[in-house]
Amino acid sequence: MNQRKDDEIVVTGIGAVTPIGTGAEGLWAGAMAGRSAVHRITRFDPCPFATHIAAEVRDFDPDAHIESKRVKRLDRYSQFAVAGARLALEDAGLRPGDVPSDRVGVCLGTALGGVGFGEHEHEQFLTKGPRAVSPILALSIFAGAGSCNIAIEFGFTGPTTANGDSCASAPVAIGNALSYLQRGDADVMLAGGAEAPLYPLMFGAFTLIRAMSVRNDDPATASRPFDKDRDGFVMAEGAALLVLEKRAHAERRGARIYAALSGSALTNDGFHMTAPRPDASASARAMRRALHQAGVSPGEVAAVSAHGSSTTLNDSTETRAIKEALGEHAPRTPVFATKAMHAHALGATGGFEAALCCLALERKMLPPTINRTTPDPECDLDYVTGGGPRPFTPGPVLSNSFGFGGINACLVFTPAQ
């Protein structure tokens, strides 16, 4: 895509609440440490289920980010969303009022929204009766509650949307924000994902379809992208949002620029609710379209941030898709998958990974892919393994997110300068 430099959409703020760290610096430090945040679940007793492990945000204090009176009106999903938004705005050096409220919008992705909170309140209803149900239930359960609560918290009146595109939700939201900015509908957009799925029924639903790892005896190695012995994903929670704006707008206010968001694309496998299309044609097409929109050729891709969910079918199919999209350049393009550390926060995870792409470009370092100890012949690309991060020369980074229902969302981030 040919566009004036001033019209480039750039990332100027990162707000993260994740199992491996809070804020841009906390997230980056957690990724660079190369350690897993997966442990036995403490939020509830997991014994009825085959899987007993998850990556919880154990140090989250909503009162540190939200006024106490407001905290009581928000469920955990919206708390994560608002906290992530505040951290992103602070990181970008933006205060409410710095930009006219009607020129700031919010795009948020989530797989489950406030459904987990609804589960909790249903239990209250069954055991204690209707009067025990929280009055905020009706206003918390829908997916749009997170984005609307961000808008309310900061008084933003620009375009505000939510999507429920499963594990691809965050990059779908980021791609939508890109479109709003390119059309001139807003000057600043907050975009990313939030998820609070760690409730018994929600958690148990994924164990019923045997999608999650049962490596309960060794939680730290349970998520193992592209490893031959992978046996499923590990669930997580949290939020990550980016501040996006046109380069000219960012430069006028003297903002630091992490990276440019140069392309996005969305396709569907049209095949199965859980299994990816075996020939990987639709996911490869999403990668090619995102690169085309960014004006990037396959040979220019400096790295790929993989979905790398650690499920048997996803990792081999994603490897096939990268090969199809990048062609002869695929074997020498570094691939990194960070879910082995922060696990899979469903609709929020693509936000974690987008943030890490931006930080990697700014800091010229690729996060490691931990736990890949037994190579899989079907997963034979240049994965960033070896126990630590890898220096690289910044160039276009392709970020993949694939969701249930066959949703394929890809983003392309390019160096700030």
Does position 360 have pLDDT exceeding 70, yes or no?
yes
**What is d(CA 214, CA 224) in angstroms, rounded to the nearest whole number?**
12
Fold of the domain spanning 264-415: Peroxisomal Thiolase; Chain A, domain 1 (3.40.47)
In the annotation, is 292 catalytic?
no
- This prediction's pTM: 0.97
Mean local confidence (pLDDT), 203-221: 97
Q: What is the token pair recorded at 68?
A: 């106490």
Fold of the domain spanning 9-252: Peroxisomal Thiolase; Chain A, domain 1 (3.40.47)
In the annotation, is 272 catalytic?
no
pLDDT (tens digit, 9 = 90+) per residue, 365-402?
999 999 999 999 999 999 999 779 999 999 999 999 99
Q: Which of 38, 92, 60 is nearest to 358 (CA)?
A: 92
Q: Which residues of 260-297 are buried (b: 16+ CB within 10 A; e: fewer)?
A: bbbbbbbbbbeeeeeebbeebebbbbbbbbbbebbebe
Mean local confidence (pLDDT), 276-295: 98
Catalytic residue, from 107, 148, 167, 358: name it.
Answer: 167
Catalytic residue, from 65, 249, 342, 344: name it.
Answer: 344
Does position 30 have pLDDT exceeding 70, yes or no?
yes
**Domain positions in the chain:** 9-252, 264-415
Equal CATH topology for 9-252 and 264-415? yes
**What is d(CA 164, CA 111) in angstroms, rounded to the nearest whole number?**
5
Mean pLDDT of the chain: 97
In the annotation, is 344 catalytic?
yes
Long-range contacts of the stretch 23-28 (C-beta < 8 A, 24+): 23/87, 23/91, 24/87, 24/91, 24/355, 24/359, 27/240, 27/352, 27/355, 27/356, 27/359, 28/356, 28/359, 28/363
